[in-house]
Each structure stands twice: as structure tokens, then as C-alpha cells.
Amino acid sequence: MKTILVLTDFSRNAAHAGRSAAWLAEKTHAGLLLWNCSPKVPVMPAYLGGVAVAEVMAGTEEGQDLLDEAVRDLEDYISSTDGAYKPRLATSYHEGSLEQELQQQLAIDAVEMIVIGSAASNCSADHIFKGSDTFKILEAATCPVLVVPPRAGLDQLEKVVFATDYEQEDLQVLKQMQQLFGVFDPVIEIVHVTLNGDKDEAVIAKEAQFLEQLGKINRQFSYKEIRGKEVTGRLNRISKQTGADLLAMTHHQYALFKRLMTDSEAKKELAHQKIPLLFFPINLKRS
């Protein structure tokens, strides 16, 4: 059975992302694995020359209790839906390095997708899935990663905007996306953002080669070149204008995605993001 791994930090945003994962699992007849990894950070008190004793900040019992509670909430949501297929829900709790534990989990299970929630841009709480931890997840992942903003959700999949920079690997990702979302048969609009309208001969040649090979794929994709002063806001606006349900990109746009999560201006754009982001990481396994 296909598995969708849902990373949770027990926050409201993670629970929100879990509901999008449950919808996907219901439609694709996949199983759900609710997964948490808590950092095992030793505290070494040594006051007034006393003996240093390492104490673990987050214990297994407490973490497992929180995971059980998250499971009950997600089970309640699944049972309230009208779908005939109810995804089987499993759990996995870990302590240690997020990146290392996730890599080990992905080596064991055939995970088709990872789903996480992103923190709100104005959120003061230090949730685990923001900043550097999000990049660790992307770097450890061997399958697509779906990032669900607080104001976004996934309850239909009729249109996908796919950002490209004309890399040959993007063509393979498009084929994989067809397989991943075959049951939905969404319209896929391929978009390239040209900054300030500048295109040199090398870019023009790269574009021509990409479009030629795109035409050989057994599917009709739509393609659009758009111009803008910066990529983040332009992609956000084109997604809104076209009524897209999902914005997808590959690891070639890693710098763009990192900017989405760290740059102050890009955070403003992300705060208005109405659709989830699907990221195809650098270690992506080919199906």
C-alpha cells in the first residue's frame, strides 16, 4: 500500500496539514503514517561546582502521549468525511536528529509523499517545521514534500502550476507528477518567470530544447512565460489568477523556496499564499 508520511510537531498548523494529507490518502487509497521526531537535547547543570548530570528535555512517554492525541484528532476527522475509503493510520515516534531519523524511516518504508505544515509568518511560537528544520526535511526527503501554509488547504486538485527553469530534470518530474496525481487528472500549467523581460541566447536555446522535449511527453501541457520584477510574488499571483490548487517546483528552485521561508518580503507573500506548495527534492527517487 502507498504511504503518505505526515510530519507533526503537535501544533495547530501540523494538524491542519494532516487533514490535507487525509484527503489525499482517501482519494488515492493510501495509508497515513503520523510521524514525530523530538530533539534529544541534554541539559548539563553544574551550579557551584556541582556534578553535571544530563537530563533529556523531552521524554519518550510524553512525546508518545502527544502523538496518540494527534492520532485521535486525525481519526475523528477521517471518520467525519463522506469518502468510502478510510485511510489506515499508523504512528512512529522518534528522538534524536530530525534529518537522520527521517532518512532512516524513508529507507525502511515506501513513502510516496511527505506532508508538513509551515508556520504562520506572524507566529511567535517556535514550531519545529520552519526555518532550518524545513530545509533538513527537504534535504533528507527522497519523495515529494507537500508544504501546507496555515491559510491553505487541499480539498480538490483540478489545476497545478509547475514552475520551471527549463532543466531537463523538470521533464522527469512532470512525468512523475502525472503518476502521482493520475486519479485526479489535473490540468498542469508550466510557468517560467523571466525577470525584467531579459533573455539571452543561452536561455532562448534552453527554452526551445525544453519545449521540444515537452511536446514528446504523452500529454497536453499548457506553457506560459511570464515577466516580473521578482519570482516569488509573480508565481503567487499567477497561481491565484489561474485558480490553481497547487504550486509545484523542483530542487532547482531551492534558493527560491528558501527565500520563501526566510526573506522578510517573501514571508509577506507566503502569508497570503492560498494554496499548498509541492517540492520535488534533490534526492528524489524515480518511479
Within this chain, do residues 107 and 193 fall inside the same structural domain, yes or no? no
Within this chain, do residues 124 and 167 fall inside the same structural domain, yes or no? no
Within this chain, do residues 271 and 164 fall inside the same structural domain, yes or no? yes
User: Between residues 261 and 125, which one has the greater pLDDT?
Assistant: 261
Question: What is the extent of the structural domain holding 173?
Answer: 159-275
Within this chain, do residues 63 and 95 fall inside the same structural domain, yes or no? yes
Within this chain, do residues 32 and 125 fall inside the same structural domain, yes or no? yes
Does pLDDT of 260 surpass 60?
no
Does pLDDT of 53 surpass 50?
no
User: Between residues 282 and 110, which one has the greater pLDDT?
Assistant: 110
pLDDT at 287: 58
Does pLDDT of 241 surpass 60?
yes
pLDDT band at 259 (very low <50, low <70, confident <90, very high): low
User: Which of the residue ranges 3-12, 199-208, 236-245, 248-257 has the most confident prediction, judged by mean pLDDT?
Assistant: 3-12
User: Which of the residue ranges 21-25, 82-86, 193-197 has the most confident prediction, judged by mean pLDDT?
Assistant: 21-25
Mean pLDDT of 202-207: 90
Nearest residue to 157 (alpha-carbon basis) of 32, 276, 68, 62: 276
Within this chain, do residues 122 and 188 fall inside the same structural domain, yes or no? no
Q: What percent of the chain has pLDDT over 70?
A: 78
Does pLDDT of 119 surpass 80?
no
pLDDT at 87: 93
CA distances from 89 to 18, 70, 74, 92 (A): 11, 11, 9, 10
Q: Which amino acid is at 69?
A: E
Within this chain, do residues 33 and 143 fall inside the same structural domain, yes or no? yes
Examine the fold and report which residue of 93, 121, 148 is the final residue of a domain before the chain moves on: 148
Residue 282 domain-assigned? no
The DSSP code for 228 is E
Residue 287 domain-assigned? no
Total domains, the chain: 2
pLDDT band at 121 (very low <50, low <70, confident <90, very high): very low
Residue 280 domain-assigned? no
Within this chain, do residues 22 and 135 fall inside the same structural domain, yes or no? yes
Residues 264-286 pLDDT 10s: 554 555 555 678 989 898 777 76
- Whole-angstrom distance, CA of residue 2 vs CA of residue 31: 6
pLDDT at 219: 73
Does pLDDT of 245 surpass 90?
yes
pLDDT at 237: 83
- Whole-angstrom distance, CA of residue 113 vs CA of residue 144: 5
Mean pLDDT of 232-236: 77
End-to-end CA distance of the chain: 15
pLDDT at 80: 92
Residue 55 domain-assigned? yes
Within this chain, do residues 205 and 130 fall inside the same structural domain, yes or no? no
Whole-number CA gyration radius for the chain: 20
Within this chain, do residues 233 and 267 fall inside the same structural domain, yes or no? yes
pLDDT at 239: 86
Residue 284 domain-assigned? no
pLDDT at 51: 42
User: Between residues 214 and 200, which one has the greater pLDDT?
Assistant: 214
Mean pLDDT of 133-141: 81
Residue 198 domain-assigned? yes
Domain CATH code at residue 255: 3.40.50.620
Mean pLDDT of 181-190: 93
pLDDT at 1: 65
Does pLDDT of 72 surpass 90?
yes
Does pLDDT of 49 surpass 80?
no
Average pLDDT, the chain: 80
Examine the fold and report which residue of 148, 182, 215 is the final residue of a domain before the chain moves on: 148
Residues 18-45 pLDDT 10s: 999 999 999 999 999 999 988 765 555 5
The DSSP annotation for 77-122 comes to HHHHS--S----EEEEEEES-HHHHHHHHHHHS-EEEEEEEPPPTT
Within this chain, do residues 37 and 141 fall inside the same structural domain, yes or no? yes
Examine the fold and report which residue of 106, 128, 148 is the final residue of a domain before the chain moves on: 148
